[in-house]
Amino acid sequence: MVGIYPITVIGQPLNKQTSFNLRIDPSPFFSVDCSASSERVVVGQNVTFTAEPDSVNLPVTTVWSGDVPNPAPTDNVFDHSYSRVGTKTAVANFTDGAGITDSCTVTLEVIIDPEFEEF
């Protein structure tokens, strides 16, 4: 269990003793996984972003940053579409109940519909 515990050790036969505090911290890290429903989407096509944090220190809050809607999504799953071509990056930033932070990044390519013909 997380906390600070006083420890006293007494040695025999000299009757010497020492004391110290044993500190048990929450897990120093947690695992995170992010994904997009596709690595390549056409302009205007929806893509679903998913963030999956795994921490024993609940609750875990999520805030997305990068090429995401404004205001930034705070749900672990959200849909978005892009109106411009290019490489897009979305970063899920996590903070767990112990204040430990981590993040993961999703990158995808937005392209023009290859069957589109302009006259």
Domains along the chain with CATH numbers: 31-111 (2.60.40.10)
Structure tokens at 77: 């799953």
Structure tokens at 100: 């430990």
Neighbours of 33 (CB within 10 A): 11
* Helix-strand-coil split of the chain, %, nearest 5: 0, 55, 45
Reported as a pLDDT band with limits 50, 70 and 90, residue 113 is confident
Structure tokens at 24: 């048990």
Q: Which of 94, 100, 93 is nearest to 25 (CA)?
A: 100
Cα–Cα distance measured from residue 17 to residue 15, given in angstroms and rounded to the nearest whole number: 7
Cα–Cα distance measured from residue 42 to residue 115, given in angstroms and rounded to the nearest whole number: 11
Tens of pLDDT, residues 42-88: 999 999 999 998 877 788 899 999 999 999 999 999 999 999 999 99
